[in-house]
Structure 1
């Protein structure tokens, strides 16, 4: 069914809530608002069995309820959306983004209600990609890792359409870089480390073939907990990378090396 192009008379403020981030969203919504307009967006999709933990679109009916939802935006579990179009049009739009095609690999579930997604993608999107993601909205904004992000329709002449959004390699690199930046910043703050040191550790974990972001972050945390303030030396990298061990075994070796090594620790400042 094509999306309605008939706008309502004035802009309304909607909220897109990620129930995977806030499992009590429905309960809190009804406590705050007796008669909200809402929709579980995974209903009528192949992911309907996950609807109670998926995206929730809400149009609050009172100012008090809207204020509560605005706080959820600040807490990083919801997205604020501005649109002149009716609720049903927004429902159709977001459901059309449930799965997206990737430039490489099979189609992917697109976590479009997760504010962190747009924080990572923001700088890598073209005007047409922004228009496709916004659809019938002209503005959406939220917070991720304590920082605000904002997507705004770059050109009023860019009408929304149902053409597919493709998740490119550039998008995926931008998301990875954002996640690494958040991790390195938090680890550096927690252990009073230079962020440049943590970023170097991340590159070393990749060189040691730690296969996932989680594994790479675990390796960095091992070094931080051991009190290191410098990258691994070439000799240490050679010792760890000499054998094709599973990464869990390599992580255990890294823990031993980090707590027993006596090489000079030249700090990065």
Structure 2
């Protein structure tokens, strides 16, 4: 018998435990931070749910968009306790040089890039008792609305036998792509609020390329903080992509007349923005 499980991300599905326990529904609920050092924030962590035969939760999953950005659908012949035990190995992971971190594997966006970074044998190891891990393919918010496309991660290969909780370089690259996607979404939301007319000058289908180019430009100029990157994008929209390099431009003229040196690229750009906007 194949069991169906929902894997919820407590950050994306706000107040997950309160909402789940408040339902008049046939559910087994297992917070995956329970019994771990992160038990006090279990509501913000991954939550594994097994709907019973009379539950309406699986029907809701297919029709309500909130579930698509917060929930994956897992299939497994194993009981809840075995699936939970396997997934808990992913709570804390280490990279190739031994740096530890928490992995947001229950966030469908993170899981999309993370699971796509594995080959078949490695994916089989990550899936463990899970035979299929289904989630909605990410959709950029500035593109026209469309029905979510569900993708199933499966592998019939023999496992490679490596540790589940160790990430290789491919996984680190995948997680970096997930962060970049999230950053672009936050930048889009901020620019839409503060510079809607400027933003509207870029066609929706060209926005991803525009963001990629300007994130690369910000990195090349030594910008580190997300606030500085947002300012970089805002000024590029308003004054053109060469606003920082033009010798006769306002930024270079301002920079040349500073009596007190500002030592980092972040300091210089943020101070200029504060004085000029």
CA offsets per residue over residues 21-61 of structure 1, 9 Å max, x none? 22232233234443411111111112112113211110112
TM-score (norm 1): 0.75
- 1:211 is the counterpart of 2:212: no
TM-score (norm 2): 0.74
Q: Is the 8 A contact 1:143 1:149 kept in 2?
A: yes
1:143 aligned partner: 136
Residues 153, 143 of structure 1: alpha-carbon distance in 2 compared, 3 angstrom cutoff: closer
Distance in 1 of aligned mates of 2:162 and 2:41: 24
Higher alpha-carbon deviation: 232-241 or 119-128: 232-241
Gaps of 5+ in 2: 140-147, 193-198
Residues 170, 59 of structure 1: alpha-carbon distance in 2 compared, 3 angstrom cutoff: same
Deviation at 1:229, TM superposition (A): 4.7
2:263 aligned partner: 244
CA offsets per residue over residues 145-194 of structure 1, 9 Å max, x none? 43646352222x42596833322233222332344346447739941324
Residues 29, 126 of structure 1: alpha-carbon distance in 2 compared, 3 angstrom cutoff: same
- 1:67 is the counterpart of 2:56: no
Gaps of 5+ in 1: 1-9, 260-269
Q: Is the 8 A contact 1:145 1:182 kept in 2?
A: no
Distance in 2 of aligned mates of 1:178 and 1:235: 33
Distance in 1 of aligned mates of 2:66 and 2:83: 18
Which residues in structure 2 correspond to 1:243-262 (within 5 Å)? 244-245=263-264, 247-253=266-272
Higher alpha-carbon deviation: 81-90 or 163-172: 163-172
- CA RMSD in angstroms, aligned pairs only: 3.3
Distance in 2 of aligned mates of 1:72 and 1:197: 27
- 1:47 is the counterpart of 2:38: yes
SS at match of 1:223: helix
